[in-house]
Amino acid sequence: MDVRESKYPGAKKSPFLFVSVYGGVVRPLSRRAIQNIVNKYTSAFFRNGKSPHKLRHSFAVDFIRSGGDIILLRDQLGHSDIKTTSLYTNMSSKDGEKVLNEMDKRR
């Protein structure tokens, strides 16, 4: 994070992790730019690379398996529907049902 601030002055004020400077203004990297970076570096370490989607999926599954809250995960992934998040994590129907029941209890 210190390198980020030194390379992109003003980045500390940005809510975005991945930034660039364009026209003297700190801006978030585009989705496409992030995809290109992920493809570039995963290709260097894996034969066929890893897609940003695969990394996102792996994060989601690990988050849930580590006891993370499905609601927080939904928000982190930017989903509007909890059902999308449960599908995204490839949870079994039993696990998904448990999550949805927990969510109903909180309402």
The DSSP bridge pattern shows strands 19-22 and 25-28 to be: antiparallel
Round the CA-based radius of gyration of the chain to a whole number and report it: 17
In a shared domain, residues 37 and 72? no
Q: How many domains does the chain have?
A: 2
- On whether the CB atoms of residues 33 and 52 are closer than 8 A, the answer is no
- 86-95 long-range contacts, CB within 8 A, separation 24+: 88/56, 88/57, 88/60, 89/57, 89/60, 89/61, 89/64, 90/57, 90/61, 91/64, 95/64
Give the Cα separation of 48 and 20 in Å (integer): 28
**pLDDT tens digits for range 19-67:** 998 888 899 999 889 888 888 888 888 777 677 777 888 888 888 878 8
In a shared domain, residues 14 and 33? yes
- On whether the CB atoms of residues 44 and 60 are closer than 8 A, the answer is no
Cβ–Cβ contacts within 10 Å for residue 55, how many? 12
**Domain final residue, candidates 30, 45, 60:** 45
- On whether the CB atoms of residues 26 and 19 are closer than 8 A, the answer is yes
Residue range(s) defining the domain that contains residue 6: 2-45
In a shared domain, residues 40 and 58? no
In a shared domain, residues 96 and 70? yes
The pTM assigned to this predicted structure is 0.53
In a shared domain, residues 64 and 41? no
pLDDT of residue 107: 67
In a shared domain, residues 97 and 59? yes
In a shared domain, residues 59 and 28? no
In a shared domain, residues 35 and 65? no
In a shared domain, residues 23 and 57? no
**pLDDT tens digits for range 68-106:** 888 999 998 889 988 888 877 776 666 666 666 766 676
In a shared domain, residues 58 and 101? yes
